[in-house]
Amino acid sequence: MLAIPRDKLLHGLIGYTIGISLVFYSTPLAMAAIVIVGIGIEIYQLRTRSGKYEVFDMIAVFVGGTLAAIYYHSIAPAITQVLHAAY
């Protein structure tokens, strides 16, 4: 079984949270914010030595944000249609 490290899950959750929060306004804005935050977290950790700098942490932020955008543009509209049809 594939176990995803807790650290990567937390970085993915950060990306997902930012993505789902901003994608309602603009998908390019959400993706830009995800890239900036992903890179910014790692630069901060590298400069302050407050955490371990890892490229995979940055990728986890990107993946989390991308999953949020995919969810918003593919699954959420279908759920909304079903809910509106039920009422």
- DSSP codes of every residue in 64-87: HHHHHHHIIIIIHHHHHHHHHHH-
Q: What is the pLDDT of residue 25?
A: 86
Structure tokens, 24: 């309602």
Q: What is the pTM of this model?
A: 0.82
Q: 32-65: per-residue pLDDT in tens? A: 999 999 999 999 999 998 878 889 999 999 999 9
pLDDT of 17 higher than 70? yes
Q: 59-79: per-residue pLDDT in tens? A: 999 999 999 999 888 887 787
Using alpha carbons only, give the angle 75, 36, 3 rounded to the nearest 5 degrees: 60
Strand ranges (E), 1-87: none
Radius of gyration, alpha carbons of the chain = 15
